[in-house]
Amino acid sequence: MEEKILEYLMKKKNPFIETIMKDLDLKEYEVYGLIAYLKQKGYLFDIIDGKVVKIKPIKENDIYKIPNIKEHLKLLLISDTHLASKFDRVDILRYLYQEAEDRNVDYILNSGDIVDGLSGRPQQIFELKETSYTGQRDYAIDKYPKSDIPTYMISGNHDLWWVRQCGADIVKDICSKRDDLHYLGSDCEDLMIGKLRIRLYHGAKGQSYAKSYRLQKYLDSIPSEELPHILQTGHIHQSFYMKQGKTHCFQTSCLQDLTPFERSQGYNNDKSCWWVEVDIDDKGNPVNIRQELETFGNKLVRKR
Ligand SMILES: [Fe+2]
């Protein structure tokens, strides 16, 4: 019943206690008891004016901590959406959020370059649908799919160009305007879901001579006490998986068509996402991690 009410509360927006009683066939004291249990486990719910409301998570000791009572977690890993670029693929992004809802995904993680930003490269302006900070911010607030599934994201080098241009982290600004999007920080941040440690990393510099090189070098630089179970990296617009020690590394590609700049640099571009499932043992430890890569071509993608 704990998992059932948790899934219900994640999907409903501020339901009344009476509505929960009716929908889940529960007595009033059972609803109060289950919510007290979830709060005791660390879930951020509260009862205000007869409604159950979700509270935005906060950072503790520099790590976002999300409680977990589930034996099985489903994640969707995406990256480099480059919204407001003329080459963005909002169609794929919409499809993925609908598919994530159909698959009962628990969390969606996005490892940066949410918007295309504004570089110092003169030709980039011709590749943009929106050229101003407010234009790109409002485009992302409007076009980024709205969902009951919480999304956790970091800002990447393209987002951070706005810090250089006008001193603001655009991803933090976007997330502050949306209840379903949570800003973790810029470039590299850790997230704990129960005992599952996840690191989101974006980075800078171009593509390396071998896909695995950048991941291996980065992994070697992480102190052993900080090694995550899942390392999700963005930036190079290519997908790749490897496991080193306990760490499952997911190089997440992009959701943007090849740009004239990438073409001129001889860069590859692959549009894809990782669907990840994690089994949790009775002590809360992640014991098994499985993944599926879904790739996309140049055709428009529609689900419903
Ligand atoms: Fe990117």
Q: What angle do CA 262, 80, 251 make, to 5 degrees?
A: 95
Proportion of the chain in helix, strand, coil states, percent, rounded to 5? 30, 30, 40
For residue 245, the CA-to-ligand 1 centroid distance in Å is 28
- Give 77's pLDDT tier (boundaries 50, 70, 90): very high
> What are the structure tokens assigned to 170, written together?
């655009």
Percent of the chain with pLDDT over 70: 98
For residue 222, the CA-to-ligand 1 centroid distance in Å is 22
pLDDT in tens, 131-183: 999 999 999 999 999 999 999 999 999 999 999 889 999 999 999 999 999 99
For residue 254, the CA-to-ligand 1 centroid distance in Å is 7
What pTM value is reported for the model? 0.90
Query: Residue 272 pLDDT more than 90?
Result: yes
Widest distance between CA atoms in the chain: 65
For residue 225, the CA-to-ligand 1 centroid distance in Å is 29
For residue 204, the CA-to-ligand 1 centroid distance in Å is 9
Query: Residue 105 pLDDT more than 70?
Result: yes
pLDDT at 162: 95
- Give 253's pLDDT tier (boundaries 50, 70, 90): very high
pLDDT at 73: 96
**Residue 258 backbone phi and psi in degrees, to 5:** -60, 130
